Amino acid sequence: MEFQIRKIRAPQGRRKLTREREEYFRLMDQGFSSREACRIIGINYRTGKRSAP
């Protein structure tokens, strides 16, 4: 299944963004910058930096 940005953009609370995180790392492996990967996925830059090991 191809990744799709979630339709409900409201804060998800304690829900872990597992699919978004997987897509973030896939894009990072392809050579995208953290900021660009976050923009593509539709998450905040800080969220992406928090996901990184």
pLDDT mean over 6-17: 68
pLDDT mean over 5-15: 67
Identify whether the C-beta of residue 48 lies closer than 8 Å to the C-beta of residue 24. Answer: yes
Answering whether pTM is above 0.75, one says: no
**Cα(35)–Cα(49) distance, integer angstroms:** 9
The pLDDT tens digits for 15-41 are: 677 888 888 899 999 999 999 998 888
CA-CA-CA-CA torsion sign (19, 20, 21, 24): positive
